[in-house]
Amino acid sequence: MRIMNFTRRVLSCVLFAACVMTANAVERLMVVGWSISNSIVMFNTAEQPDVWKATVNLKADAGFKFLTEACWGGLEFRAGDNDVVLNSGVATALVSSDNDNGKDCKFKVSEKANYDIVCDLANNKVTVTKAAYQGNEINHTA
Protein backbone atom coordinates (compact mmCIF):
# COMPACT_ATOMS: atom_id res chain seq x y z
CA MET A 1 0.00 0.00 0.00
CA ARG A 2 2.84 2.40 0.83
CA ILE A 3 4.42 1.83 -2.57
CA MET A 4 1.16 2.74 -4.31
CA ASN A 5 0.81 5.96 -2.29
CA PHE A 6 4.44 6.82 -2.95
CA THR A 7 3.98 6.16 -6.68
CA ARG A 8 0.83 8.31 -6.80
CA ARG A 9 2.61 11.17 -5.07
CA VAL A 10 5.62 10.96 -7.37
CA LEU A 11 3.43 10.86 -10.48
CA SER A 12 1.38 13.81 -9.20
CA CYS A 13 4.56 15.81 -8.64
CA VAL A 14 5.84 14.93 -12.11
CA LEU A 15 2.55 15.97 -13.73
CA PHE A 16 2.49 19.22 -11.74
CA ALA A 17 6.09 19.99 -12.74
CA ALA A 18 5.29 19.28 -16.40
CA CYS A 19 2.31 21.64 -16.29
CA VAL A 20 4.35 24.39 -14.67
CA MET A 21 7.21 24.01 -17.14
CA THR A 22 4.94 24.14 -20.18
CA ALA A 23 2.74 26.96 -18.90
CA ASN A 24 3.03 30.24 -20.71
CA ALA A 25 4.88 32.42 -18.21
CA VAL A 26 4.39 35.62 -20.21
CA GLU A 27 0.89 37.03 -20.60
CA ARG A 28 1.88 40.19 -22.47
CA LEU A 29 4.85 41.36 -24.51
CA MET A 30 5.49 44.90 -25.73
CA VAL A 31 8.13 46.48 -27.96
CA VAL A 32 9.51 49.48 -26.03
CA GLY A 33 12.02 52.12 -26.98
CA TRP A 34 12.53 55.12 -24.75
CA SER A 35 8.93 55.53 -23.55
CA ILE A 36 6.43 52.96 -22.32
CA SER A 37 3.60 55.23 -23.49
CA ASN A 38 4.78 54.65 -27.08
CA SER A 39 5.10 50.88 -26.72
CA ILE A 40 3.59 48.45 -29.20
CA VAL A 41 1.72 45.40 -27.89
CA MET A 42 2.69 42.14 -29.55
CA PHE A 43 0.32 39.22 -30.15
CA ASN A 44 0.58 35.46 -29.75
CA THR A 45 -1.78 32.60 -30.53
CA ALA A 46 -3.13 29.65 -28.56
CA GLU A 47 -1.24 27.34 -30.93
CA GLN A 48 2.07 29.13 -30.25
CA PRO A 49 1.75 30.86 -26.87
CA ASP A 50 5.49 31.57 -26.60
CA VAL A 51 5.81 33.14 -30.07
CA TRP A 52 4.93 36.85 -30.08
CA LYS A 53 4.55 38.93 -33.26
CA ALA A 54 4.09 42.54 -34.33
CA THR A 55 4.77 44.75 -37.33
CA VAL A 56 6.19 48.11 -36.31
CA ASN A 57 8.24 51.02 -37.59
CA LEU A 58 11.73 51.06 -36.15
CA LYS A 59 14.14 53.95 -36.41
CA ALA A 60 17.79 53.37 -37.33
CA ASP A 61 20.11 53.08 -34.32
CA ALA A 62 17.26 53.64 -31.81
CA GLY A 63 17.38 51.05 -29.04
CA PHE A 64 14.42 48.88 -28.10
CA LYS A 65 13.67 45.89 -25.89
CA PHE A 66 10.64 43.88 -24.84
CA LEU A 67 8.65 44.32 -21.62
CA THR A 68 6.07 42.02 -20.08
CA GLU A 69 4.44 44.80 -18.02
CA ALA A 70 3.59 48.42 -18.73
CA CYS A 71 6.16 49.58 -16.18
CA TRP A 72 9.90 49.45 -15.64
CA GLY A 73 11.33 46.82 -13.32
CA GLY A 74 9.33 43.77 -14.41
CA LEU A 75 10.49 40.89 -16.57
CA GLU A 76 12.24 42.17 -19.70
CA PHE A 77 13.78 40.56 -22.75
CA ARG A 78 16.81 42.35 -24.13
CA ALA A 79 20.15 42.02 -25.91
CA GLY A 80 22.37 40.72 -23.10
CA ASP A 81 26.00 41.87 -22.73
CA ASN A 82 26.04 44.58 -25.45
CA ASP A 83 23.65 46.43 -27.71
CA VAL A 84 22.94 44.33 -30.81
CA VAL A 85 22.19 45.54 -34.33
CA LEU A 86 19.72 43.04 -35.79
CA ASN A 87 20.03 41.88 -39.38
CA SER A 88 16.83 41.33 -41.34
CA GLY A 89 15.74 37.70 -41.26
CA VAL A 90 18.48 36.53 -38.86
CA ALA A 91 17.48 35.03 -35.50
CA THR A 92 19.41 36.52 -32.59
CA ALA A 93 19.65 35.60 -28.91
CA LEU A 94 16.96 37.08 -26.69
CA VAL A 95 18.02 37.36 -23.03
CA SER A 96 15.63 37.44 -20.08
CA SER A 97 16.31 40.00 -17.37
CA ASP A 98 16.04 37.06 -14.95
CA ASN A 99 19.12 35.47 -16.55
CA ASP A 100 21.36 38.34 -17.66
CA ASN A 101 24.17 40.36 -16.14
CA GLY A 102 22.01 43.34 -15.21
CA LYS A 103 23.05 45.46 -18.17
CA ASP A 104 20.20 47.21 -19.94
CA CYS A 105 21.42 46.45 -23.47
CA LYS A 106 19.03 46.95 -26.35
CA PHE A 107 18.38 45.83 -29.89
CA LYS A 108 18.73 48.18 -32.87
CA VAL A 109 18.26 48.12 -36.63
CA SER A 110 20.52 49.91 -39.09
CA GLU A 111 17.76 51.15 -41.41
CA LYS A 112 14.53 53.00 -40.58
CA ALA A 113 11.66 50.87 -41.89
CA ASN A 114 8.60 48.81 -40.99
CA TYR A 115 9.65 45.44 -39.59
CA ASP A 116 7.93 42.18 -38.75
CA ILE A 117 9.20 41.21 -35.31
CA VAL A 118 8.98 37.66 -33.96
CA CYS A 119 9.99 36.88 -30.38
CA ASP A 120 10.24 33.14 -29.73
CA LEU A 121 10.46 32.97 -25.95
CA ALA A 122 10.62 29.16 -25.89
CA ASN A 123 13.87 29.26 -27.87
CA ASN A 124 15.09 32.68 -26.65
CA LYS A 125 15.31 34.15 -30.16
CA VAL A 126 14.22 37.40 -31.77
CA THR A 127 13.97 37.92 -35.53
CA VAL A 128 13.23 41.15 -37.37
CA THR A 129 12.43 41.06 -41.05
CA LYS A 130 11.85 44.13 -43.19
CA ALA A 131 8.11 44.16 -43.84
CA ALA A 132 6.68 44.00 -47.35
CA TYR A 133 4.60 47.12 -46.63
CA GLN A 134 6.67 50.32 -46.50
CA GLY A 135 4.08 52.89 -47.71
CA ASN A 136 3.57 54.60 -44.33
CA GLU A 137 5.11 54.20 -40.90
CA ILE A 138 3.26 51.61 -38.85
CA ASN A 139 2.93 53.15 -35.40
CA HIS A 140 0.49 50.65 -33.94
CA THR A 141 0.18 46.89 -33.80
CA ALA A 142 -0.58 45.58 -37.28
User: Taking 50 as the threshold, does the pLDDT of residue 21 lie above it?
Assistant: no
User: Taking 70 as the threshold, does the pLDDT of residue 12 lie above it?
Assistant: no
Distance of CA 102 to the CA centre of its chain: 17
Amino acid at 109: V
Q: What number is the average pLDDT over the span 49-67?
A: 94
Three-state SS string across the chain, please?
A: CHHHHHHHHHHHHHHHHHHHHHCCCCCCCEEECCCHHHCEECECCCCCCCEEEEEEEECECCCEEEECCCCCCCCEEECCCCCEEECCCCCEECEECCCCCCCCCCEEECCCEEEEEEEECCCCEEEEEECCCCCCCCCCCC
Q: What number is the average pLDDT over the span 8-25?
A: 47
pTM value is: 0.78
Q: How far is 22 from 19, CA to CA, in rounded Å?
A: 5
Output the pLDDT for position 56.
93
Output the pLDDT for position 141.
60
What residues contact residue 64 under an 8 Å CB cut-off, 6+ apart? 31, 32, 33, 58, 106, 107, 108
Longest alpha-carbon distance in the chain: 71
Q: How far is 76 from 99, CA to CA, in rounded Å?
A: 10
| DSSP strand pairing (107-109 vs 84-86) | parallel
**94 or 99, which is more confident:** 94
Distance of CA 142 to the CA centre of its chain: 17
Output the pLDDT for position 140.
67
